């Protein structure tokens, strides 16, 4: 009877996928159908099975690349289908897969050492591969059905993923410490995801499963290479462990049973806890929120280990996209989103990007950061803006434009050196309230002319002020120049409060107005007790001392001395002394003139002296003496005698005089001559001459 599809009976079946390498790329699989095909592969090998077409859901167009790719079943998958040609059973179609609890290791049964022998209805992949397929011209020999990586790699889950936040740059990229007791050295199954400069800061290494087991996966032959995953799925439901949740796994005592959940927990400890921020706060990668309960977690996992979760577990609702290397995006029950990338991250936007963060933004970078903006950049901060550099340099470079900093208050602080370098520096201040303070020493060097202009300039130092010029020093003032010197140290050491030294040349003080306002004044001490020297127009010189002395000295003798009312003026061979009480002495090397406060005057030389008393007495002496006392008595004396004595002797000789006569010597003079002579001697002579 002719068969017409849709008018005859519906012939459905179930079977096991043994080959999915469709040469037409339509998603077809070779399926050994239960009850229709022999279990003995010697009687009916895999290559003799017909290709079964997949039936896609109505959500996929199955037309010219539109829709979902018709892939999913793997070798060993039980599928459900029908023969569209009815009982002819040559055009199988399949539309569903069937899960279960595998209790038999397909590899232990299939791999019996023969080239094609073994049982069907199991994963047919062998350690050495299957025979070449007649429809695959480029697959002569062993087909791509190997689980031994010495042939052709097939998808498999990683054995473990290791994160290291403090790697040793000298460590080989194919060496990794699995645990404290297990180290893989130079193994090709170890892949380092981050290489180059970034690897010096952080490494992620994937330890691949050296043997991909046939389905069901019975785990690693060397379980020590994984401390984060238990890959033995035998005798447990084929439903994904993540979907079965916290109460649907066979061995809850083994934390590795959760696979990527436990691995994420372990790698979270590698540099993702207590991460510091610029403000001093710390933050950590959020804890893994997986608390799935069957049947609420919808999981899709691929052969190599990619996972997508849509978890509807009450109070633990999540979305999770996970890459086999550990990169993932997870949205937590409270809406928290975690993006973790185990290698480099590239974010490319051809248009604009708009970001709005209503709370805070914390970014911590363990290595370097570079931002290259070919246009303009604007930062607007309504609060504080802080940049803290622990070490290194802070460079702002704008060789062709301006750098403008505008603030109500601006503070530049350098703990060591602050350097301003420019062809021209302009500083403008609106008020004189600004201060410039230097704690230690400061040096200012100007190669050319240094000019200061100001309404007024005030300088105040706690120490001394030194000025040194290679040329001259000129100070011009349209008003006055006032100096005030406290002189504490000079007071204790009796040194100079101010001193001007000129190695060569003159020191001049000049007041050009010699008619009205000019003059020079020098004062010492307080009023009443001070001394002063004043030069006033039109040339008057005044030296005053009220309680001290005035002294002018030359190299050989004092020139001028005034003290306590006394004064002296002295040259090399002459001097003038004036006492406070009125005595005056004028002398040179040969003569002296003395005037006493009482009016007496004495003029003396090497050979003579002239004395004049205020009473009128006077005297001259020069190898003798001529004087007159206040009574009018005159004294004329030589070195041997006086005029009064001589006149007295003459009178005495006259009175005693006798002369010979005819009668013999005559007698003394007779009165009245003798009487008059005695009166002269005792009266006039005694009253007039010494």
Q: Which residues contact 238 (CB under 8 A, 6 or more apart)?
A: 99, 100, 101, 102, 216
Q: Which residues contact 570 (CB under 8 A, 6 or more apart)?
A: 554, 557, 558, 559, 560, 561, 576
Residues 147 and 164 in one domain: no
Which of 286, 320, 340 is the last residue in one of the domains?
A: 340
Residues 80 and 177 in one domain: no
Q: In which band, very low, low, confident or very high, does the pLDDT at 139 lie, cut at 50, 70 and 90?
A: very low
Mean pLDDT of the region 250-254: 64
The predicted pLDDT at position 328 comes to: 95
- The DSSP element (H or E) to which 268 belongs, if any, is helix 260-268
**Positive or negative torsion for Cα 68, 69, 70, 74:** negative
In 3D space, the residue among 68, 71, 70, 73 whose CA is nearest the CA of residue 17 turns out to be 73
Question: Is 1 contained in some domain?
Answer: yes
Residues 97 and 167 in one domain: no
Return the CATH number at 234: 3.10.450.190
Q: What are phi and psi of 301, to 5 degrees?
A: -125, 140
Residues 183 and 150 in one domain: no
Question: Is 515 contained in some domain?
Answer: no
In whole angstroms, what is the distance from residue 524 CA to residue 325 CA? Answer: 94
Which of 340, 357, 376 is the last residue in one of the domains?
A: 340
User: Domain span at residue 45?
Assistant: 1-154
In whole angstroms, what is the distance from residue 163 CA to residue 688 CA? Answer: 143
Residues 203 and 292 in one domain: yes
The three-class DSSP label of residue 107 is helix
Return the CATH number at 29: 2.40.50.260
The predicted pLDDT at position 115 comes to: 41
Beta carbons of 29 and 79 less than 8 angstroms apart = yes
Q: What is the 3-state secondary structure (H, E, C) of 674-690?
A: HHHHHHHHHHHHHHHEC
Which of 340, 372, 407 is the last residue in one of the domains?
A: 340
Whether the pLDDT of residue 543 is over 50: the answer is yes
In whole angstroms, what is the distance from residue 331 CA to residue 513 CA? Answer: 94
Q: In which band, very low, low, confident or very high, does the pLDDT at 114 lie, cut at 50, 70 and 90?
A: very low
Residues 294 and 168 in one domain: yes
In whole angstroms, what is the distance from residue 122 CA to residue 74 CA? Answer: 11
Q: In which band, very low, low, confident or very high, does the pLDDT at 564 lie, cut at 50, 70 and 90?
A: low
Residues 149 and 167 in one domain: no
Whether the pLDDT of residue 296 is over 50: the answer is yes
Burial class (CB in 10 A: 0-12, 13-18, 19+), 51: middle
Question: Is 371 contained in some domain?
Answer: no
Beta carbons of 178 and 184 less than 8 angstroms apart = yes
Residues 94 and 169 in one domain: no
Question: Is 544 contained in some domain?
Answer: no
Q: In which band, very low, low, confident or very high, does the pLDDT at 214 lie, cut at 50, 70 and 90?
A: low
Report the percent of the chain where pLDDT is more than 70: 77
Q: In which band, very low, low, confident or very high, does the pLDDT at 331 lie, cut at 50, 70 and 90?
A: very high
In whole angstroms, what is the distance from residue 17 CA to residue 25 CA? Answer: 16
The predicted pLDDT at position 510 comes to: 83
Residues 247 and 329 in one domain: yes
Q: In which band, very low, low, confident or very high, does the pLDDT at 212 lie, cut at 50, 70 and 90?
A: low
Question: Is 404 contained in some domain?
Answer: no
In whole angstroms, what is the distance from residue 227 CA to residue 263 CA? Answer: 9
Residues 202 and 80 in one domain: no
Burial class (CB in 10 A: 0-12, 13-18, 19+), 661: exposed
The string over 465-480, giving b where at least 16 C-beta atoms fall within 10 Å of a residue's C-beta and e elsewhere, is: eeeeeeeeeeeeeeee
Question: Is 310 contained in some domain?
Answer: yes
pTM score above 0.85: no
CA atoms within 13 A on the CB side of 150: 4
Residues 129 and 182 in one domain: no
Question: Is 249 contained in some domain?
Answer: yes
Beta carbons of 11 and 87 less than 8 angstroms apart = yes
The predicted pLDDT at position 141 comes to: 44
Structural domain count of the chain = 3
* Count of C-beta atoms within a 10 Å radius of residue 176: 25
Which of 106-110, 161-165, 624-628, 649-653 comes out lowest in average pLDDT? 106-110
Q: What angle do CA 246, 252, 254 make, to 5 degrees?
A: 130
The predicted pLDDT at position 6 comes to: 65
Q: Which residues contact 467 (CB under 8 A, 6 or more apart)?
A: 473
Whether the pLDDT of residue 308 is over 90: the answer is yes
Mean pLDDT of the region 307-326: 94
Question: Is 332 contained in some domain?
Answer: yes
In 3D space, the residue among 329, 229, 243 whose CA is nearest the CA of residue 286 turns out to be 329
Which of 88-102, 328-342, 576-590 comes out lowest in average pLDDT? 576-590
Residues 24 and 139 in one domain: yes
In whole angstroms, what is the distance from residue 504 CA to residue 225 CA? Answer: 94
């Amino acid at each position: 009877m002719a068969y017409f599809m849709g008018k005859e009976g519906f012939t459905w079946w179930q079977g096991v996928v043994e080959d999915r390498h469709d040469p037409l790329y339509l998603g077809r699989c070779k399926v050994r159908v239960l009850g229709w095909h022999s279990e003995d592969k010697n009687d009916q090998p895999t290559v003799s099975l017909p290709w079964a077409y997949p039936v896609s859901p109505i959500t996929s167009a199955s037309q010219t690349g539109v829709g979902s790719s018709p892939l999913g079943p793997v070798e060993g998958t039980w599928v459900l289908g029908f023969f569209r040609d009815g009982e002819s059973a040559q055009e199988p179609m399949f539309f569903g897969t069937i899960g279960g609890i595998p209790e038999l290791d397909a590899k232990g049964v299939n791999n019996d050492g023969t080239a094609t022998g073994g049982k069907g209805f199991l994963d047919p992949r062998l350690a050495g591969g299957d025979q070449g397929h007649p429809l695959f011209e480029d697959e002569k020999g062993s087909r791509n059905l190997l689980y031994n990586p010495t042939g052709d790699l097939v998808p498999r889950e990683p054995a473990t993923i290791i994160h290291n936040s403090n790697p040793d740059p000298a460590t080989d990229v194919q060496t990794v410490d699995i645990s404290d007791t297990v180290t893989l050295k130079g193994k090709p199954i170890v892949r380092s995801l981050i290489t180059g400069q970034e690897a010096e800061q952080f490494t992620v290494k994937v330890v691949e499963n050296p043997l991909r087991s046939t389905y069901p996966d019975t785990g690693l032959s060397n379980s020590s290479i994984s401390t984060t995953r238990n890959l033995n799925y035998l005798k447990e439901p084929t439903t994904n462990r993540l979907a079965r949740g916290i109460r649907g796994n066979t061995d809850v005592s083994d934390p590795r049973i959760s696979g990527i959940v436990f691995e994420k927990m372990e790698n979270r400890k590698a540099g993702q806890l207590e991460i510091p921020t610029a403000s001093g706060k710390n933050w950590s990668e959020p804890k893994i929120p997986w608390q799935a309960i069957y049947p609420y977690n919808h999981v899709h996992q691929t052969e190599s280990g990619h996972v997508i979760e849509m978890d509807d577990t009450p109070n633990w609702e999540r979305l999770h996209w996970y890459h086999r290397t550990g990169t993932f995006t997870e949205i937590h029950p409270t809406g928290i989103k975690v993006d973790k990338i185990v290698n480099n991250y590239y974010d490319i936007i051809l248009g604009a990007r708009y970001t709005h963060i209503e709370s805070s933004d914390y970014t911590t970078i363990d290595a370097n950061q570079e931002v290259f903006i070919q246009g303009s950049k604007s930062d607007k901060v309504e609060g504080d803006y802080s940049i803290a550099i622990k070490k290194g340099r802070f460079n702002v470079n704008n060789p062709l434009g301006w750098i403008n900093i505008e603030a109500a208050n601006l503070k530049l602080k350098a703990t060591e050196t602050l350097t301003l370098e420019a062809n021209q520096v302009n500083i403008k201040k609106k008020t004189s309230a600004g201060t410039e303070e230097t704690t230690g020493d400061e040096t200012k060097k100007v190669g050319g002319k240094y000019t200061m202009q100001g309404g007024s300039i005030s300088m105040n130092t706690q120490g001394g002020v030194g000025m040194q010029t290679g040329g001259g020093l000129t100070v011009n003032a349209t008003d006055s120049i006032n100096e005030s010197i406290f002189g504490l140290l000079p007071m204790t050491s009796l040194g100079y409060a101010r001193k001007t030294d000129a190695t060569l040349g003159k020191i001049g003080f000049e007041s050009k107005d010699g008619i009205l306002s000019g003059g020079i004044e020098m004062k010492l001490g307080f009023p009443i007790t001070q001394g002063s020297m004043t030069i006033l127009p039109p040339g008057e010189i005044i030296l005053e001392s009220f309680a001290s002395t005035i002294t002018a000295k030359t190299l050989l003798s004092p020139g001028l001395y005034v003290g306590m009312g006394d004064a002296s003026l002295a040259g090399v061979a002459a001097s003038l002394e004036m006492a406070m009480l009125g005595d005056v002495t004028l002398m040179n090397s040969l003569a002296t003139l003395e005037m006493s406060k009482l009016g007496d005057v004495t003029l003396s030389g090497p050979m003579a002296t002239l004395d004049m008393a205020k009473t009128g007495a006077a005297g001259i002496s020069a190898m003798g003496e001529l004087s007159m006392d206040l009574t009018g008595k005159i004294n004329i004396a030589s070195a041997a005698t006086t005029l009064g004595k001589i006149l007295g002797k003459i009178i005495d000789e006259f009175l005693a005089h006798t002369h010979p006569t005819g009668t013999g010597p005559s007698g003394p003079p007779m009165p009245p001559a003798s009487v008059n002579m005695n009166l002269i001697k005792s009266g006039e002579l005694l009253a007039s001459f010494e």
